[in-house]
Each structure stands twice: as structure tokens, then as C-alpha cells.
Structure 1
Amino acid sequence: MNIDTEILQTIVKMPEPLKQEVLNYAKYLMENYSTDISLKQHPHKKRRSGILQGTFVLPLPDDFDEPLEDFKEYME
């Protein structure tokens, strides 16, 4: 069952005041979010290469694999 059919079947079972609330909410969503959703689906951000350059220092220090002193109480 697709979403449209499920929505229609649910609305048919509702009393008239609830149907009016659903209609008002659907109009609200269409007015306020239809342009936001289309922009979020297609982001036009370009990735920058080399943004983390110089962050990592190689070669790694000799004690790289040793447990950290901050976590000694958890390691015991």
C-alpha cells in the first residue's frame, strides 16, 4: 500500500472536524516547507580538499598505542 492510499483511507474514517484540521495542517505544511524541502534535497556545497592539512603529525610518537593516564581508573 502506498502512502497516498493509506492517507486517504485514514481520512475517510475521521469525523468532519478532524478532516478540517488535517486540511489546515496540510495547507500549512505546503506553504511553509515545500521550498525548504526542495533546497535541502539538493545541497550545492562543494567539498574543499586539504582542509585538514597539517592537523596530523607523522611519524606517530613511540607511545601512541599506550593507554592514556586519564583513563587509568577505567582500565583497572
Structure 2
Amino acid sequence: MSTTALLTEITALPPELRQEVEDFVAFLRTKKQRNTVQKEREFGYAKGQVRLADDFDDPLDDFKEYM
């Protein structure tokens, strides 16, 4: 839909629906700003926060009959 056609559709709406369109446009702008403000993650930012058990790679007793 072209900008002119969109503007024509919006101006044809009753005032209360035009207000909803205005609110939705404001919502879309804030949504876009939130997505662009996020800083990039640094490599290794979670280092030391995850621990694996020493027996992590050992087979589970529950699956012995399948091995």
C-alpha cells in the first residue's frame, strides 16, 4: 500500500480509530528503539557461571539396557 493510499485510509477513519492508529504507531516506534538500543554481548561474559559435573559424559544408569 502506498503512503498516499495509507494516508487516505487513515483520514477516512473516525477520530477514535485515528487515535488508535496514532497509539499503534507510537508503540511501533518504541518497539524499534528497544531493539536497536541493546548492546552487543562480549565474548566470555558468562565465564565461570556455568559448571558441569565431573561425570557429565558418563552413561546414565537409566539407559544401560539400551547399550
Q: Smaller-chain TM-score range?
A: 0.3 to 0.5
Task: Report the TM-score when normalising by structure 2.
Answer: 0.43
- TM-score, normalised to structure 1, is 0.40
Q: Which structure carries more relative contact order (alpha carbon 8 Å, separation 6+)?
A: 2
